[in-house]
Amino acid sequence: MKQNIHNIERIARVALGIGLLSLAFIGPENKWFFLAVIPIITGVVGWCPLYTVLGINTCSLGKKKSA
pLDDT tens, position by position, 53-65 = 999 999 887 666 6
**Domain residues for 43?**
7-54
Number of Cβ within 10 Å of residue 20's Cβ equals 19
Condensed to tens digits (0 to 9), the pLDDT of residues 12-40 reads: 999 999 998 888 888 777 777 889 999 99
Of the candidates 1, 19, 18, 7, the residue with the CA atom closest to the CA atom of residue 60: 7
- How many folded domains does the chain comprise? 1
- Which one-letter DSSP state was computed for residue 59? T
CA-based radius of gyration for the chain: 15
Residue 22 within a domain: yes
Residue 50 within a domain: yes
pLDDT at position 33 is 82
Of 4-8, 20-24, 44-48, the poorest mean pLDDT is in 20-24
pLDDT at position 65 is 60
